[in-house]
Amino acid sequence: MDNSPQLELTSVLTCPECGHAKIERMPVDQCTFFYECEKCKAMLKPNKGDCCVFCSFGSVPCPPVQENGKGCC
């Protein structure tokens, strides 16, 4: 029996500029460095020390962080 935790592959990204939130599917094989808010068009970039926008602005950290405790980059 596999005891590894189930990865959450969706996260709610919330724009720090306008507060717009959207459910997005996270890639399992790469980090997402940039994300454009569909409402205000702000270009989101990871905060210092985070590997991707999901770790900075998402409700759930990216799959590599969930699995390994660190990002893929």
CB 38 within 8 A of CB 20: yes
Residue 58: which of 18, 22, 5, 6 has the closest Cα? Answer: 22
Give 40 or 72, the one with higher predicted confidence: 40
pLDDT digits (tens, 9 = 90+) for 2-11: 556 689 999 9
Assign 67 a pLDDT band (cuts: 50, 70, 90). confident
CB contact set of 48 (below 8 Å; sequence gap of 6+): none
Alpha carbons 32 and 34: distance in angstroms, whole number: 6
Q: In whole angstroms, what separates CA 73 from the centre of its chain? A: 13
Q: What is the pTM of this model?
A: 0.86
